Amino acid sequence: MAEQKNIMIAFADNNRTTTYFRDSMILQIRIAYKIMEYLAPDSVFPPKANQFTKNLMLEEKFPKAYGYVIEELDNELHVDDLGSSSGAEYIERQAIALMKHLLPIYKKGVTDAKEKRRIALIEELNSLDNPDA
C-alpha cells in the first residue's frame, strides 16, 4: 500500500503564517466541503443540500451556484470578513474549478447507478417472465 501524503506538511510547505492566510485556507476548505455536499455527497450520511443550488451546478451555471454556496456558508461564518477582493476572486475561481472538476465525476456516478438499476430491473423482469429459471 502506498504511503499517504501528509497534508499538514504540504500545507506548511506551501502557505504563509498570517491570520489572513489561515482564515483564507479555512474558508477555502469550508467552500470545498459545501460544494462536495452537492457533487460528491457522502453515501452514508447524505447532507441536506439545496436542490436549487445543485441544479445550478448541474446546469453548469457555476458563478451563480458559487453565489448561493457563499450565501449558505455566510450563515455559518462571515465570508466577507476575508477583506481582500483579489483573495475573494481567487477563491471564487478555485471553487468554480472544483465544481468543473467534480461535475463529470458526479454525472458518471449517477449514470452508472442508473445503469446498474436498469440491469437489475431487466434481470428481475426476466425472472418473472421465466419462473423456472
pLDDT digits (tens, 9 = 90+) for 58-91: 999 999 999 999 988 877 666 666 666 788 888 9
Of 49-58, 73-82, 109-118, give the range with the top mean pLDDT. 49-58
Do residues 82 and 88 lie in contact, with contact meaning Cβ atoms separated by under 8 Å? yes
pLDDT value of position 83: 64
Residue matched to cell numbers 443550488: 53
How many Cβ atoms are within 10 Å of 64's Cβ, its own excluded? Answer: 13
Task: Calculate the average pLDDT of the chain.
Answer: 86
Residue 73 covered by a domain:
yes
pLDDT value of position 32: 94
Residue 2 covered by a domain:
no
pLDDT value of position 36: 95
pLDDT value of position 105: 94
Residue 67 covered by a domain:
yes
The alpha-helical segments, DSSP class H, found in 40-132 are 51-58, 62-74, 85-129
Do residues 32 and 91 lie in contact, with contact meaning Cβ atoms separated by under 8 Å? no
Do residues 66 and 130 lie in contact, with contact meaning Cβ atoms separated by under 8 Å? no
pLDDT category, 46, cuts 50, 70, 90? confident
Do residues 70 and 113 lie in contact, with contact meaning Cβ atoms separated by under 8 Å? no
Residue 111 covered by a domain:
yes
Tally the domains of the chain.
1
What is the reported pTM?
0.76
Residue 1 covered by a domain:
no
Residue 65 covered by a domain:
yes
Residue 68 covered by a domain:
yes
Q: Average of pLDDT values for 29-52?
A: 89
Residue 74 covered by a domain:
yes
Structural domain for 121, as ranges: 7-129
pLDDT category, 16, cuts 50, 70, 90? confident
